[in-house]
Structure 1
Amino acid sequence: MGVVEFDLERIIHAPVADVFARLADIEGHNAWMPKRGSILHRTEQTSPGPPAKGTTYVDRTMAGSMPGEISEFEPPTTLVYHWWDKTAAGKVKAEGWPGYRLEAKGDHTTLVHHHVRLETHGLYHLATPVMHWMASRERTATLDALETSFGHHHH
């Protein structure tokens, strides 16, 4: 098994509840997620109702479709997604847990701790360094896009 784990931090100029709501809105991701530097094409929620623990979704990527679910959901501070990629035979070849911990630094300032964990299984552990590079690039682009989506102006 290969493991990729890293942390990113970003200050977002918006109230913590607003940042949490934007990160938790799966279908809404399509409006602000990065188009460049990302393998993701589109995200679709696959279970009814507002986002909550257990809400499921599908990421449509250049590498195919990958299912996922919300594994932790505690507004407005903790949100963890869990996705997995299986072989045709049904074996998990890779899975990941992108998680967000939000900390209010003021009425209009939120510190986002973004913790990323990926696991590769079987022969896919050989791809671990590549996945580390791709995930790092992808997640940095995501935080850039999140920051941009709230604008840079101060109140």
Structure 2
Amino acid sequence: MGVIEFELSRVVHAAVDDVFTRLADINGYNDWMPRRGSILRHTEQTSPGPPAQGTTYLDKTSVGPTPGEIAELVRPTTLVYHWWDKTKGGRLKAEGWPAWRLEAKGDHTTLVHHHARVETHGAYRLATPLFRWMAVRERKATIEALQASFAHHHDD
């Protein structure tokens, strides 16, 4: 198994509850994720109800559909997603755990720690450097889009 792990941090000018709500709203990613610089094309929650541990979703990406679920949710500080990618035969190629840890730094400022872990399996271990490049690029695009989404919505 190949393992990729890294963390990014950014300051977001919004209350911690607002940042958490935006990150937990799976369908809402379609409103604030960039159209360029990301592999994400569309995401949708596939299980009913409000976001909670076990909530499932499907990301449609430029490299194919990727299912996932919320692995951990502790409002308003912790959110961990888990996604996986399998071969047509059902073998696990890669899986990832994008995690968000939020720290309130005042009424309208949140320090966002975005931890990413990706594991490649089987023959896909050989592609670990490519997965790393894609993961770093995607996670940077996501955290920067999150930051920008609040910069444009001061009145929300």
Common fold by TM > 0.5: yes
CA offsets 1:68-104 (integer angstroms, 9 cap, x no match): 0000000000000000001111111100000000000
Q: For 1:76 and 1:107, locate their aligned partners in 2 and report how far apart those are by CA, in whole Å.
A: 13
Counterpart position of 1:42: 42
Q: For 2:66 and 2:21, locate their aligned partners in 1 and report how far apart those are by CA, in whole Å.
A: 23
RMSD: 1.4
Within 5 A, what are the aligned runs for 1:1-155?
1-151=1-151
Q: For 2:31 and 2:153, locate their aligned partners in 1 and report how far apart those are by CA, in whole Å.
A: 20
Q: Which ranges in structure 1 are unaligned for 5 or more consecutive residues? A: none
Could you state the TM-score of these two structures normalised by the residue count of structure 2? 0.96
The alignment of Structure 1 onto Structure 2 pairs a total of residues equal to 155
Q: Are the equivalent residues in 2 in contact too, given 1:13–1:152 (CA < 8 A)?
A: no
Q: Which amino acid aligns with 2:81?
A: Y
Q: Which ranges in structure 2 are unaligned for 5 or more consecutive residues? A: none
Q: Are the equivalent residues in 2 in contact too, given 1:72–1:79 (CA < 8 A)?
A: yes
CA offsets 1:112-133 (integer angstroms, 9 cap, x no match): 0000000000110111111111
Q: What is the percent sequence identity of the aligned residues?
A: 70
Misfit runs of 4+, over 4 Å: 152-155
Q: For 2:34 and 2:98, locate their aligned partners in 1 and report how far apart those are by CA, in whole Å.
A: 16
Q: For 1:153 and 1:96, locate their aligned partners in 2 and report how far apart those are by CA, in whole Å.
A: 30
Q: For 1:84 and 1:76, locate their aligned partners in 2 and report how far apart those are by CA, in whole Å.
A: 25
Q: For 2:140 and 2:50, locate their aligned partners in 1 and report how far apart those are by CA, in whole Å.
A: 26
Q: For 1:8 and 1:23, locate their aligned partners in 2 and report how far apart those are by CA, in whole Å.
A: 15
Could you state the TM-score of these two structures normalised by the residue count of structure 1? 0.97
Q: Which amino acid aligns with 2:108?
A: H
Secondary structure of the residue that 1:30 maps to in structure 2? helix
Q: Which amino acid aligns with 2:100?
A: Y
Q: Which amino acid aligns with 1:67?
A: P
Q: Which amino acid aligns with 1:9?
A: S
CA offsets 1:106-153 (integer angstroms, 9 cap, x no match): 000000000000000011011111111111111111111111100169
